[in-house]
């Protein structure tokens, strides 16, 4: 594996592509420079250097992990960052930057109406820490003020992204409904074309049969007309079904990511590259994933959903796992589960539901 591939794999591990954050979070790490300004004016002892190294490791773990958290888990990350800032306040005035990072993640803890109070609480704690710890005002006053600015801005942008995800999901649903309507139109057209043509062929075939003994030339003409009618029908069928495509598996996964994002649920994807799936099988699996994600959003009350598609080369089959950390219960006898199981079984596979710990669908599909 090349260095570029290793770095890209590390990047996807730190910031999964489903978050749609790109490389921007690395840019915000530049503000950590404020933490080290102190050491340009005074030396640091061995113990303090060791404490700085441990603090930076903890901070980076919290920073990259916080991007993937929602609700209570995100609140714990924010609290940990605030605690780091308060512990370092008497020794390093630049640690006020930790309050800013904590406020930047506040939008992940709750809806906008509640997360704004988290931002204000962080700003109050920053001010109290500055007052009690007596660090230099030139560092702490901007820290408390910028925490509010960054926190409110991220709440706005986070809510805007959620609405954009809902909009993209609505657009995808409109496209899907348009495809369904087009399929129904094609089905009606095929019914009309085939019905009319077959009726015509039956009539002409009967006429040609009667004319075989009476007028052979006329019978040949009728047979030729049957051939021409059949050819024309074939062209009409090809025209009717041209442009008809099933939704790909990649499109289904993208739509699932949009749906999860609009519901503030973290989606963790693990999909093997180059799965040898026929188009029909991929489309069927896409329907299963779509229905499973709908069940998670409606019934699971979950914060994290995991979808895994792995190639079991030893048994030449595709392994599917869809799980969540919610406390909701999905009825095994529900029409959604039965529909998913029927689709998997139509491909020659099996699907099982486990509701002991959250929801867990696991199954397999044979591969050619």
Find the CATH number of the domain harbouring 283. Answer: 3.30.565.10
What pLDDT is stored for residue 333 in this prediction? Answer: 63
Token pair 């043509």 is at which residue? 197
Q: Is 365 helix (H, G, I), strand (E, B) or coil?
A: strand
- Report the SS3 class of residue 336: helix
Residues 277 and 285 sit within 8 Å (Cβ to Cβ): yes
List the single range of 16-20, 24-28, 200-204, 256-260 with lowest mean pLDDT: 200-204
Whether 137 maps to a domain, the answer reads yes
Q: How many domains does the chain have?
A: 3
Task: Name the range with the highest mean pLDDT among 5-9, 151-155, 195-199, 251-255.
Answer: 151-155
**pLDDT for 17 beyond 50:** yes
Residue 79 has pLDDT above 90, yes or no: yes
Residues 273, 320 within the same domain: yes
Whether residues 333 and 300 share a domain: the answer is yes
223/336 same-domain check = no
Ranges 91-95, 116-120, 242-246, 249-253, most confident: 116-120
Same domain (yes/no): 147, 235: no
Task: State the number of CA atoms in the 13 A half-sphere of 135 facing the CB.
Answer: 26
Q: Length of the chain in residues, anyone?
A: 368
Flag whether pLDDT at 72 surpasses 80.
yes
Of the candidates 194, 190, 348, which has an alpha carbon nearest to the alpha carbon of residue 280?
348
Domain that holds residue 278: 249-366
Q: Do 236 and 279 lie in a common domain?
A: no
C-alpha 261: how far from chain center: 7
Instruction: List CB contacts of 141: < 8 A, sequence separation 6 or more.
Output: 130
User: Residue 332 half-sphere exposure, CB side, CA atoms within 13 Å?
Assistant: 8
Residues 201 and 227 sit within 8 Å (Cβ to Cβ) = no
Say if residue 69 is in the same domain as residue 158.
yes
In a domain, 353, yes or no: yes
Considering the domain boundaries, does residue 54 fall inside one?
Answer: yes
d(CA 293, CA 320): 13
Domain boundary among 110, 143, 168: 168
Domain presence at residue 13: no
Indicate whether 4 belongs to any domain. Answer: no
Tell me how far apart the alpha carbons of residues 99 and 129 are, in angstroms, rounded to a whole number: 10
Q: Which tokens is 45 given?
A: 């002892």
Residue 240 confidence (pLDDT): 58
Q: Are 237 and 193 in contact (CB under 8 A)?
A: yes
Per the listing, tokens 């926190």 go with: 151
pLDDT at 243 over 50: no
Residues 43 and 144 grouped into a single domain: yes
Report how far residue 167's alpha carbon sits from residue 161's, in angstroms, rounded to the nearest whole number.
10
126 in Cβ contact with 88 (< 8 Å)? no
For position 157, what pLDDT does the model report? 82
Written as six digits, the tokens of 90 are 């008497």
- Of the candidates 241, 269, 290, which is a domain's last residue? 241
Contacts of 296 (CB under 8 A, 6+ apart): 260, 265, 302, 305, 322, 324, 326, 359
Same domain, 258 and 227: no
Same domain, 39 and 157: yes
Cα separation of 147 and 128, whole Å?
14
Specify the CATH number for the domain of residue 233.
Answer: 1.20.5.1930
pLDDT for position 281: 83
pLDDT at 23 over 70: yes
pLDDT digits (tens, 9 = 90+) for 189-227: 565 556 556 666 766 677 777 777 777 777 777 778 777
Any domain includes 5: no
Determine how many CB atoms are found less than 10 A away from the CB of residue 307.
24
Return all residues near 185 (Cβ < 8 A) that are at least 6 apart. none
- For the chain, give the mean pLDDT: 80
Q: What is the pLDDT of residues 262-304, one digit of tens each?
A: 677 888 888 888 788 887 788 788 878 888 887 887 777 888 8
How many angstroms separate the CA atoms of 111 and 223, rounded?
Answer: 73
- Mapping DSSP to helix (H, G, I), strand (E, B) and coil, where does residue 347 land? coil
pLDDT, average across residues 16-28 = 81
Q: Which of 128, 143, 168 is the last residue of a domain?
A: 168
Q: Is the pLDDT of residue 19 over 80?
A: no
Indicate whether 235 and 254 sit together in one domain. no
Q: What 3-state DSSP class applies to 1? A: coil
Same structural domain, 351 and 254: yes
Q: Which of 70-79, 183-192, 319-328 has the lowest mean pLDDT?
A: 183-192
Residue in the block written with tokens 């930790």: 98
245 has a pLDDT exceeding 50: no
Lowest mean pLDDT among 25-29, 119-123, 151-155, 212-216: 212-216
> Residue 265 and residue 349: Cα distance in Å, rounded?
29
Is the same domain home to 160 and 24? yes
Three-state SS at 275: coil
């Amino acid at each position: 594996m090349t260095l570029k591939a290793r770095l890209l794999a590390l990047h996807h591990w730190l910031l999964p592509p489903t978050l749609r954050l790109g490389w921007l979070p690395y840019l915000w790490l530049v503000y950590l420079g404020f933490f080290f300004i102190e050491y340009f004016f005074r030396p640091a002892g061995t113990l303090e250097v060791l404490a700085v190294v441990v603090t930076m490791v903890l901070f980076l773990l919290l920073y990259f992990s916080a991007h993937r958290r929602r609700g209570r888990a995100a609140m714990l990350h924010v609290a940990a960052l605030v605690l780091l800032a308060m512990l370092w306040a008497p020794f390093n005035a630049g640690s006020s930057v930790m309050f800013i990072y904590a406020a930047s993640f506040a939008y992940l803890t709750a809806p906008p109406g509640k997360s704004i109070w988290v931002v204000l609480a962080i700003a109050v704690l920053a001010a109290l820490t500055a007052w009690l710890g007596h660090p230099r005002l030139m560092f702490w006053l901007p820290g408390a003020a910028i925490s509010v600015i960054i926190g409110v801005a991220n709440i706005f942008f986070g809510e805007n992204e959620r609405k954009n995800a809902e909009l993209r999901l609505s657009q995808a649903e409109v496209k899907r409904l348009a495809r369904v309507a087009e399929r129904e139109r094609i089905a009606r057209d095929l019914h009309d074309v085939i019905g009319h043509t077959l009726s015509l062929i039956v009539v002409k075939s009967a006429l040609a049969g009667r004319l075989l003994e009476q007028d052979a030339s006329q019978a040949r003409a009728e047979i030729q007309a049957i051939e021409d009618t059949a050819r024309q029908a074939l062209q009409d069928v090809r025209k009717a079904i041209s442009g008809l495509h099933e939704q790909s598996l990649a499109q289904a996964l993208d739509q699932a990511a949009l749906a999860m994002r609009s519901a503030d649920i973290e989606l963790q994807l693990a999909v093997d590259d180059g799965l040898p799936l026929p188009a029909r099988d991929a489309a069927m699996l896409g329907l299963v994933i779509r229905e499973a994600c709908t069940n998670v959003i409606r019934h699971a009350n979950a914060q994290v959903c995991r979808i895994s598609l792995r190639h079991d080369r030893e048994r030449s089959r595709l392994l599917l796992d869809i799980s969540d950390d919610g406390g909701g219960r999905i009825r095994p006898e529900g029409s959604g589960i039965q529909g998913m199981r029927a689709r998997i079984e139509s491909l020659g596979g099996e699907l099982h539901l486990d509701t002991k710990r959250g929801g867990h669908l696991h199954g397999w599909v044979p591969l050619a």
